[in-house]
Amino acid sequence: MAEDGAGNGTEYDVVVIGGGPGGYVCAIRCGQLGLKVACVEGRGALGGTCLNVGCIPSKALLHASELVHEAEGNFAKMGITAKEVSVDVPKMLEYKDGVITANTQGIEFLFKKNKVDYVKGWGEIASATEVKVGDQTLKTKNIVIATGSEPASLPGVEVDEERVVTSTGALELKSVPKKLVVIGAGVIGLELGSVWARLGAEVSVIEFLDVITPGQDGEVQKHFQRILKKQGIDFVMGAAVQKVEKLKTKLKVHYQTRKDEKDHEMDADVVLLATGRRPYTEGLGLDAVGVETEKGMVKTDDHWRTNVAGIWAIGDVIAGPMLAHKAEDEGMAVANEIAGQHGHVNYGVIPGVIYTAPEVASVGQTEDELKEAGRKYKIGKFPFMANGRAKANFASEGFVKLLADAETDRILGCHVIGPAAGDLIHEVCVAMEFGASAEDLAMTCHAHPTFSEAMREAALACGDGAIHA
């Protein structure tokens, strides 16, 4: 159903299918560029996975659980005494839901401000110029597919979102499980695993590979896993989960380890399936209009055009990292292309952040990638242990690792594990966009005392040496 009488009879320049970070940003930018635009969304709220069942709600729970941890772990050390800290899970979920509503309603306001028609319902592409939503047909010159992704399934694991959950159900658990088994040591498994661990669950992570967070810098992976172990999270590495058996009062997770090729089992109260996500294209009608896909992803050229003229695609549904900010960038870029301007996304400078405590953030190439490419590089490393602000805040675990070209000193990558890493990484993103050298960063005055001084010190370490290490 269209809001404010939008939809029927209107000839659009652009109809965006999907109101997540890719789709809603694209629609807003189209509105700003003077295009007549509608955004079709079926879940009843804008913001997609990110705002409704992903990034935003998980960050609310991460924040709340980190405060619990801070109170339990560090208050006494600072001379703060409080009555015993207790957790009211339903109240915490209420707080999280309030955060979601505030954010999704914010997008509705932005749609009105930018003259975007919000069409409620599931969209189906009827032709290159028509999108069907329920019993209405939207006529348009361009269609942008921004339908996102959904959790990938695993044979033998039947998700019910109560006892066997994906990230969606893990944000809705009514109480703290006694034992949580996480399948997959990727971003989702570790972020949500650490939320429930901090709230008191015993957490075991079963991971197929021998390393956690595939694709991260190897040194960060090892250090990160050590920190998580110290926080009480248990890891079974090199193990493939084969089945989750649902018994009356508990779950039995069956897995096989590569080393001994033996079958093992582990009991759980709740199992979190976090083995990746897959593009969501159900009911879109791609086959009928002949839009090509590859491994379930919509195939596009470098400028987000599918093989059907006038149909574009962005975000999780196409190739590349499944990250909200990557989708947003593509959303803005494709709007520019449709408006006849130039759209650009620098895929070499897309930061990745894992919102655990401490956070993990990275941008550019890893040391392993540079080695493989045969590139000569230098490393500037600085530990948070030597950063005054981090020490004062009991947040001195981790380090900054800056990688620069051995000859030109140009920054090639940065990998951070430590306090506020997800914010700190952006100074390197900006530096890389400007083709900066490590010396450029080292010569930039950084306020004292801040965590960001560790970034400068790592840059100094690429040259004549860090001052405080």
Is 344 catalytic? The answer is no
CB–CB of 121/134 below 8 Å? yes
The nearest distance, CB 112 to ligand NAI, in angstroms, is 29
Q: Which has the closest alpha carbon to 12: 170, 186, 136?
A: 136
462 within 8 A of 402, measured Cβ to Cβ = yes
C-alpha neighbours within 13 Å on the C-beta side of residue 16: 36
* Degrees, nearest 5: CA angle 251-228-159: 30
Q: Which is nearer to ligand NAI, 144 or 360 (CB)?
A: 360
User: What's the min distance (Å) between Cβ of 217 and ligand NAI?
Assistant: 15
**Closest distance between ligand NAI and the C-beta of residue 255, in Å?**
7
Task: Collapse the DSSP code of 205 into the 3-class scheme (helix H, G, I; strand E, B; otherwise coil) and give the result.
Answer: strand
Task: Indicate the residue among 39 and 323 with the shorter CB distance to ligand NAI.
Answer: 323
- Give 6 or 61: the residue with its C-beta nearer to ligand NAI: 61
Nearest approach, Cβ of residue 152 and ligand NAI (Å): 7
Give the whole-angstrom CA distance, residue 246 versus residue 271.
Answer: 10
* Residue nearest to ligand NAI as judged by C-beta position: 186
Phi, psi angles (nearest 5°) of residue 251 = -115, 150
- Could you tell me which of 10, 3, 18 has the C-alpha nearest to residue 280? 18
Q: Which is nearer to ligand NAI, 180 or 206 (CB)?
A: 206
H-state helical runs in 324-400: 324-338, 367-373, 388-392
Chain positions contacting ligand NAI, by CB under 6 A = 154, 183-189, 191, 206-209, 214, 240-241, 274-277, 321-323, 352-355
Sequence-distant (6+) residues with CB within 8 A of 144 are 14, 15, 16, 17, 23, 26, 312, 313, 314, 331, 334, 338
Measured from the CB atom, the residue of 150 and 369 that comes closer to ligand NAI is 150
Distance CA 433, CA 445 (A): 19
Output the smallest distance, CB 15 to ligand NAI, in A. 26
Catalytic residue among 63, 342, 415, 448: 448
Closest residue by Cα to residue 25 from 106, 122, 101? 106
Task: Find, among 353, 312, 340, the residue nearest to 23 by Cα.
Answer: 312
- Shortest Cβ 57–ligand NAI spacing (Å): 11
Our measurement of the distance from residue 372's CA atom to the centroid of its chain's CA atoms, rounded to an integer in Å, reads: 26
For ligand NAI, which is the closer residue by CB, 185 or 436?
185
Provide the annotated active-site residues. Answer: 448
